[in-house]
Amino acid sequence: MIRTESLTKVYNKVKAVDSIDINIEKGQVCGFVGPNGAGKTTTIGMLAGLIEPTGGKCFIKDIEVARNPIQIKRMIGYLPEGVGFYSNLSARQNLRYLAKFYGLKDAESEARITELLEYAGLKNVDKPAGAFSRGMRQRLGLARALLNDPEVIFLDEPTNGLDPEGVIQFRKIIKEQAAKGKTIFFSSHILDEVEHVCNTICIISKGKIVTQGSLDDVRNKMHKDKPMTIKIKVIGMMPKLTDPGIIDATYNDGSATLRVQSDIVNEVASELMKSGVRIRELKVEEESLEDIFLETVYRRE
């Protein structure tokens, strides 16, 4: 549904997006994650037909975006970062205006707008969009992105400005859209946020894709070669351990904290038993995916 081939955007000699290859299948919900300035907005802009690539190509349902920008705009849903509206028009009037672009018939569009305003939690809001809070603008932006019942939905930092209730409602909407078979691509700089709703992840840093795949694939790839911590408590004195998998160890009288390259908890347990001590506690602590993400991706910045 979404495919890029060496997609590149250069601004004043700076590669904002550097030859990226993305492939997203129908029905996937992909979290596009990276720090500020990584190239997320530029990528989504090119996919939505709003920014012309400097090199490479992108396709939505095998239609090349740069060659068919109007067709693409009618096909997709798009919530831009810092979404803007006609400030003197109400939420309903703003959506009505847009419905014309999609060629929706009046009766059809009124029903759809009513449904979407309720869906986005703006049913009883009559004030002009200029008086909206940031969270309300995001809600209206989401309604706008769904107006044409698109098969492919792009959301750029959709939870920015939403309060916790709004975030929960947003996740519910995404899950419902995914259950309808929609393909969703949404950006965030917080990995933890996309883990709640996405089944695939694509991580971008400095314009390049760091890793992409299913949530489990990305977890395994990122956890691979990452040291883990084993915490041990014993009855009596803690002996010094000799397992070659131990990178670093801190010993106290009855406890130890080991940094290990892989899960060697069984080896450690048998070494402890051989030395005759009784184990009170032995546990492995893995870094969270968010911690690894912060460590590996933000360190590149």
Minimum distance from residue 48 beta carbon to ligand ATP (Å): 13
Hey, what amino acid is at 178? A
Interaction of residue 31 with ligand ATP, rule CB under 6 A: no
Tokens standing for residue 196: 């709640």
Under a CB-based contact definition with an 8 Å cutoff, are residues 119 and 169 in contact? no
Interface with ligand ATP by CB under 6 A: which range of 10-18, 84-92, 168-176, 247-255?
A: 10-18
Interaction of residue 40 with ligand ATP, rule CB under 6 A: yes
Round to whole Å and give the CA distance between 64 and 61: 8
Per the rule left: phi > 0, alpha: psi between -120 and 50, beta: everything else, 120 is alpha
What mask, x for binding ligand ATP by CB under 6 A, covers residues 186 to 225?
---x------------------------------------
Interaction of residue 42 with ligand ATP, rule CB under 6 A: yes
Minimum distance from residue 73 beta carbon to ligand ATP (Å): 19
Round to whole Å and give the CA distance between 248 and 217: 28
Cα 238 to chain centroid, rounded: 44
Interface with ligand ATP by CB under 6 A: which range of 35-43, 64-72, 129-137, 195-203?
A: 35-43
Contacts to ligand ATP from residues 127-186, by CB under 6 A: none
Contacts to ligand ATP from residues 257-286, by CB under 6 A: none
Interface with ligand ATP by CB under 6 A: which range of 9-17, 109-117, 220-228, 246-254?
A: 9-17
- Long-range contact set of residues 91-96: C-beta below 8 Å, sequence gap at least 24: 91/117, 91/122, 91/125, 91/129, 91/132, 91/140, 91/143, 92/117, 94/129, 94/140, 94/144, 95/140, 95/143, 95/144, 95/147
Under a CB-based contact definition with an 8 Å cutoff, are residues 175 and 182 in contact? no
Minimum distance from residue 207 beta carbon to ligand ATP (Å): 7
Q: Which is nearer to ligand ATP, 12 or 266 (CB)?
A: 12
Select from 41, 90, 148, 177 the one that contacts ligand ATP (CB under 6 A).
Answer: 41
Contacts to ligand ATP from residues 50-109, by CB under 6 A: 81
Under a CB-based contact definition with an 8 Å cutoff, are residues 235 and 254 in contact? yes
Select from 1, 2, 16, 99 the one that contacts ligand ATP (CB under 6 A).
Answer: 16
Residues contributing to the site for ligand ATP (CB under 6 A): 11-12, 14, 16, 34, 36-42, 81, 189
